[in-house]
Amino acid sequence: MKKIFFLTFLLSVLSVEAQNKLYAKGNALFAPFGIVNIGLEKQVAPKYTLQAEVFVSPWKSFAGKDAQIFMFGLDGRYYFNEAFKSWYVGANASLTYFKIQKWNYWNDNVFQLDATTKPYINSNLYQEGFGFMLGAVVGYQFQLSEKWLMDFYAGFGSVQEFYKGYDKISGERYDDPYHTRVWNRSGEFLPYKGGVMISYQLK
Q: Mean pLDDT across the chain, nearest whole number?
A: 89
Confidence of residue 14 (pLDDT cuts 50, 70, 90): very low
pLDDT value, residue 19 = 64
pLDDT value, residue 7 = 47
pLDDT at 17 over 60: no
Distance CA 154, CA 136 (A): 8
pLDDT at 5 over 60: no
Higher pLDDT, 113 or 8: 113
Distance CA 158, CA 97 (A): 16
pLDDT at 15 over 80: no
pLDDT value, residue 11 = 42
pLDDT at 12 over 60: no
Q: How far is CA 51 from CA 22, 31, 75, 168, in A?
A: 10, 19, 5, 37
pLDDT value, residue 181 = 78
pLDDT at 2 over 80: no
* β-pairing verdict for 125-143 and 22-27: unpaired
Note the pLDDT tens digit of each residue in 86-123: 999 999 999 999 999 988 889 999 998 888 889 999 99
Confidence of residue 203 (pLDDT cuts 50, 70, 90): confident
pLDDT value, residue 115 = 83
